[in-house]
Structures are given as C-alpha cells and as structure tokens.
Structure 1
Amino acid sequence: METTADLSELSTRLRDIAAEAATSVGPGLRAAFRTSISAGHKTNAHDLVTEHDRASEEMIVHHLLACQPDSRVLGEEGGHRGSGRIEWIVDPIDGTSNFAHGVAFFCVSIAAALEGELLAGVVYDPIAGLLFTADLTGAYLNGAPLRPQAQAEEARASLMTDYPSAEALALDGPAALEAFGELVGTYATVRRKVSAALALAHVAAGWTDATLGLDTNPWDVAAGALLVRQAGGSYLPFRYDDASGPAHEAPCFVAVGPGGNCPTAVAVVERLVAARRAAGHRR
C-alpha cells in the first residue's frame, strides 16, 4: 500500500502523463477545427461523434498505456480496455457538438484514478491553449497555481449548465423549463456552453462561479471534479438510488468555486433528481 508521499509522487507522474497525452492531440484538433467535419450520431441526433473523437482517443490511449503499463482505460468512444491497477478516464473531445459546429468551447479530458479515488486530472482547451491540471498537490493552469474566489452572493454569481438538453426536456417535461427559468432568474448570468469538463475547469479557474449537470458520465466530469476540489471548491454528487461510490460516477452534480454559495442550484438539482427517482429513472 502506498504511503501519502508515494501517492503524491504517483499523482504528479500521472498528471504529467495525462498532460502529455492531451496536448499530443492538440495539433490535429486545431487543424480540423472549422473545416468540413463529418459528424455521425450515437444515441440520437444531438449526440455527435466525429472521426477526430475516435482518432484522438486512440492516440491518447496508446500514450497512456505505453507510459503506465499497469493501466486500464474507460474511454467515451472505446469503452473499457485493459485490466491494470490505474484507471484512466478519457473523453477525447468533450463538447463534440461545439467542435463540429465551429464553436471554440471544447476540450480533451483525462483523469487517473486508483481504487476509485481520483489522483490526477487534465482538461486541455486546444484552441485557447489552456492546460488545466490537478494532482494531490493542487490545481494549476499552464503550470501556475489556481486560487479562485467565487461570488458569495447568488444574485451576483455566474452559472454554467448544459441543462436542459433535448433529452431532459423529453424526460422532465415542463419542469425542465421551470427549473431553467429559476436559474436564469436567480443568477447574474446563466450560460449553456455544452462541455461539462471545460465548465468545471472554468469554475476551478474562477471564471464562472458554479456549474451543474444531470445525466453526465465519468469521462465528462472526472478530471474537472478533481480540478474544482483541488482549487478549493466543492463538487456535490447526486444519485437516483442509495448506492455509494466515487463522486465522479454519480450521474448528477453541482460544483461551486471556493467561497461561493449556490443553494438555488443545489435545490433545483435535488428537486429534479427526486422527481426522476419517483418516476423510476435509474440512469
């Protein structure tokens, strides 16, 4: 079993490996951005995938497994691979719809976990050249420590959320628009940026005060959750059942920067999760 010092050293090494893997796909993504990108559909017309998602994930996975052989990977495109002790959680392009439509708000997200505990995380914005990294020593932007301060007053705070998606509108009905209206009426500004990983990184940097999400996947939030926590903020998971487990595996969340106070966001997510639970939703 690793000592605290061993874990810290391991986390820093995994952070560096993840950063190298993420930045390695940057040139290809920048070259493809705002060109004729052919996008296909996965679960529905809103869930896009491109050849660049798949190609980037293959490059990332190859790098991770070569640098850390005792690894396994959970990738958005390739699913589970390998059986090693270290779990890599990979989203090659978080915000594929933005990428495919020429909107410069997407990122590469890579996290590393050991027995369910996050040790390292990287969120890389290849267009802006922003490399957010976190390990057990802290959270950083392009190597400089992140020390954000969120707005304490809700009425002055900014919020990012992808909610409600088309799927959420179908699932929650009028309650979805009511919830969104409550958020818009409460916060100084509400932005729908459609990249949970990059929104979490912006909370860690102090550029937005809070973000919330429903029905996310581990690859959407793992790296960003660690960034927020290591920057001094809070990451609150919500589940549809009473099962326990790592926070990044919960399907819903609210993340708030240090010093922030967002009870309305928390209440909105709690209400939506409770209604879905009562209706038998188990995603």
Structure 2
Amino acid sequence: MDVTFLLDTATEAARAVGPRLRAAFRSRPAVSTKRDFHDPVTEHDRAAEETIRAVIDARTPYSTIVGEEGGTTGSGDLVWYVDPIDGTANFAAGLPFFCVSIAVAHRGELVAGIVYDPVREDEFTATTQGAWCNGDPLSSAGATRDREAMLLSSYPTPRDLDVDGEQALRRYSRFVTSFSAVRKPGSAALKLAHVAAGWADAAYGTRSNPWDVAAGALLVRRAGGVYLGDPLVKGDYLAHVGGFDLSASVLAEVAPP
C-alpha cells in the first residue's frame, strides 16, 4: 500500500472542486434540507461529491466510497470517507469557514487524509508518516489548561438540546465559564485541522459522522495531539493539543472512552 499515492489521490480530488466552490461562494445558492432545516444542502455539495468520486474511482477503482451525499458505493479493502462541503451552512450564507474533507482507511486503519480550505487555500494533509499544512510539518501544541485555552465546539446542537435539555445548557455554561474562549464556527473537519495546527486548543462534537471527522482525526493524531472517539463510527469526539491537561479540564466529563 502506497500512502503517498493515496494522499495524492485525496489531494487531487479535493483540489478538483476548489474552483467551483470558490466561484459559488457568496452567491447565496439555493438551499434545500435533509433531516431538518438545521441540515442544509446545496447543488454544489452534490456536484462536488460527484467530482470527488470520479477522481477516486479513476485512481483506485477497487475501493469503497462513503460520502455524505451519495451514501456507500463500491467494495474493497480501501474505504474513502468524503464530505464535499463540511460546513454547508457557512458556505451557503457566505461565512468563510468550510472545507473539503477526504480520508481513506485500509482495513479499518486511517492511512491518509486531507482537509482543504478552498477560500484560504490551506491544505491540511496527513498520512501514517506525519501531518502538514501547505507542506510544512504540523505540531499540535498550545495551552495546557482551560483558562488559557480556546475551545471550538458546536455543542449544544438542536439535537443535544432535544435529548439533554437543561443539562446541555448547564454543561455549555461550564464550558463558557471555564475556557478562555469558546467559539462555534461550524465544520468539524476544519476545527480539528486547527487543533492539529495549534491554532485552537480543543474541539468537541456530538453525533458526528465518519466523513465529518476521519481526516481531522488523523491530522490531530499525526501532529502530536490527542483525538478521543472512534472516527470511523458515528458518535462523539474530543480532540486537544498535545500537553493539554484533560484530567483537570471541564471537558473530562464528556470525554469519549
């Protein structure tokens, strides 16, 4: 297995949709919804995934593709996880915090991935050998305790409020009062990339899908940070920079096993 070839494939696929997304950005594209009105999708999500699938199919024809828009297709030891636009609500509204996320696993182990920010042209890449941003090695380092740290989290989501009610609000209150800053920028993949780069100190999310977090999880781990949760199974995740004291953090109460 050539991880360089796999990363090159992911990079080619991600960059192939960059021009389309930049051209459509801030055009206020028409939005439809999937699960509910909090879950938007545009024609660009679907078209971008089709382009990405075409690149992957051409370069690794004997593989499985799991995409947010197109579901699961194909079969093989290689499994690709594709989110053509992670942060669709931001993209549709004109907020420049969204990305393309592509990761590949071989027999259940993540081996390569990219989180590509087409607005800033930031290319976060990772393999089993390391993690990079625009070719420069990443080092996930930053604050060691809550009061000095920035937390990126979409918690509580509407689903969290439905399930946990007042408990979710009390937990969010603890986050806000414990951390130096809490931000809800959207896009799990890009949040994880920023933790991998040391541009933020922690990220937390609930009920995330593999296409949301697989590439970001690999980035964090290969950059020397910590990612908790199974990125290949729908569920909660917690990531933080290396050296952060999770045991003394308010996040310890939500840390996945």
* TM-score (normalised: structure 1): 0.87
Structure 1 counterpart of 2:254: 269
Structure 1 counterpart of 2:128: 136
2:178·2:250 contact (CA, 8 Å) conserved in 1?
no
- Write the letter of the residue equivalent to 2:94: G
Structure 2 counterpart of 1:196: 188
- State the distance in 2 between where 1:208 and 1:33 align: 25
SS in structure 1 at match of 2:208? coil
Structure 2 counterpart of 1:278: none
Cα-to-partner distance string for 1:147-205 (whole Å, 9 max, x where unaligned): 23121122101110011111211111001111111011111000001110000000000
SS in structure 1 at match of 2:232? helix
Given the alignment, which residue of 13, 16, 21 partners 2:5? 13
Percent of paired sites with the same residue: 50
Q: CA, structure 1 residues 247+219, in 2 after alignment: closer, same or farther (shift >3 Å)? A: closer
Structure 2 counterpart of 1:252: 236
Structure 2 counterpart of 1:165: 157
Structure 2 counterpart of 1:150: 142
Cα-to-partner distance string for 1:55-80 (whole Å, 9 max, x where unaligned): 00000000011011121100000000
- Write the letter of the residue equivalent to 1:251: G
SS in structure 2 at match of 1:215? strand
SS in structure 1 at match of 2:97? coil
Alignment of 1:235 onto 2:247? no
Cα-to-partner distance string for 1:213-241 (whole Å, 9 max, x where unaligned): 1110000000000000000011111xxxx
SS in structure 1 at match of 2:207? coil
1:210·1:262 contact (CA, 8 Å) conserved in 2?
no
- State the distance in 2 between where 1:78 and 1:117 align: 22
Shift of 1:16: 1.1
- Write the letter of the residue equivalent to 2:147: A
Q: CA, structure 1 residues 64+46, in 2 after alignment: closer, same or farther (shift >3 Å)? A: same
Cα-to-partner distance string for 1:65-103 (whole Å, 9 max, x where unaligned): 101112110000000000122100000000000001110
Q: Which structure 1 segments of 5+ residues have no match?
A: 1-6, 238-245, 275-283
Structure 2 counterpart of 1:33: 25
Alignment of 1:205 onto 2:205? no
Structure 2 counterpart of 1:45: 37
What number of residue pairs does the alignment pair up? 256
SS in structure 2 at match of 1:249? coil
Shift of 1:250: 4.6
2:68·2:211 contact (CA, 8 Å) conserved in 1?
yes
2:97·2:187 contact (CA, 8 Å) conserved in 1?
yes
1:254·1:265 contact (CA, 8 Å) conserved in 2?
no
- State the distance in 2 between where 1:152 and 1:210 align: 10
- State the distance in 2 between where 1:261 and 1:98 align: 32
* TM-score (normalised: structure 2): 0.96
SS in structure 2 at match of 1:214? strand
- State the distance in 1 between where 2:47 and 2:250 align: 36
- Write the letter of the residue equivalent to 2:176: V
1:209·1:257 contact (CA, 8 Å) conserved in 2?
yes
SS in structure 2 at match of 1:258? coil
RMSD: 1.4
